[in-house]
Amino acid sequence: MFRGAGGRPGRLRVTPILWCGARSDKYVTTVFVPDPGTARGEHTVSDAAREAHLISPVDLGTALASGQDVVLLDVRHTQASDSADPDAFRAGHIPGAQFVDIDDDLAGTSTGANGARPLPEPDVLEQKVRRWGIDARTPVVVYGATRSPAPARAWWLLRWAGVESVRLLDGGLDGWACHGGLLTSAETTRAESRFEIRPGRLPIVEAIAVPDFAARGQLLDARPAARFSDPTNPAAGHIPDARNVPLPELFDARGYLKSEPDLLAVFGARGIGPHSRPATYCGSGVAAALEVLALALLDIPAHLYVGSLSEWAADPARKLVR
């Protein structure tokens, strides 16, 4: 777990009293304020679940400035082509970060019938985890472009594999820049670890069980509304009885995940409450991972349909509603 930093801030200076747009109300009480004399400060979050799954740009900057060891994973991808964006990483990333390819590193081989981004083979994933230097002691922070679901796929996969301390940078790179965070083009490598993954630590749902969640009103589709249902769009369609929760509804105007009351309202409008046990899907198991994270902030455990619609639609016997 990250703790308040002592000592003087180094190169990674942050300016937490400056906010892009309106001041956030999610990170409450006092915040870390650089002080040339004491350089001490505190930062608390509004909920234990949020603290377990998210880290603010302020807290990340403070941790890095104090010399705390953090495994940083940059999971940027280009939404237009739905592919990894190593060029953006090379142009500038948070110091110490390693690039993670959403397809090569966070997915297995697609056969066409198992979805576009199936789970990687456990032994292959373990090799990646060790290469990134992940161990049982060092906290992991994943980040990407603001509002991007790609880092949430890394958050989910690592948690599924038994990595306990994984957090998403709330606000993404825009939030980092807003608070004075620096970028570098320098490459980083970490010593390889000997971590042994424990697959299955987060729940998944297979295609055969998806209709059960739908019948109970507990199946959520994270895709845009135009992809969920549009009779004029041949690419549109959804699993019968699914309920649409487009990702933009999870973010505030600045690209931070909404507060718990606001998220409860978003999911509550779809019949999901504190005692629900929903399942989420999207096109390829990426956007849906962010929905799992948002539900985790509410202490609502959600199943991920990893194969998602790319697997569901591969079988002509499975119904789609347009």
Domains and CATH numbers, the chain: 1-200 (3.40.250.10), 207-312 (3.40.250.10)
pTM of the prediction? 0.87
Q: What amino acid occupies position 290?
A: L
Spatial CA neighbour of 176 closest among 305, 58, 30: 58
pLDDT the model gives residue 236? 87
Q: Confidence band (pLDDT; 50, 70, 90) for 234?
A: confident
Per-residue HEC secondary structure of 64-92 comes to HHCCCCCEEEECCEECCCCEECHHHHHHC
The residues that are catalytic are 282
pLDDT the model gives residue 81? 80
β-sheet bridge partners, residue 93: 184
pLDDT the model gives residue 20? 57
With a cut of 80, say whether residue 13 has pLDDT above it. no
Q: Confidence band (pLDDT; 50, 70, 90) for 47?
A: confident
With a cut of 80, say whether residue 166 has pLDDT above it. yes
Summarize the confidence of residues 107-121 as an average pLDDT. Answer: 98
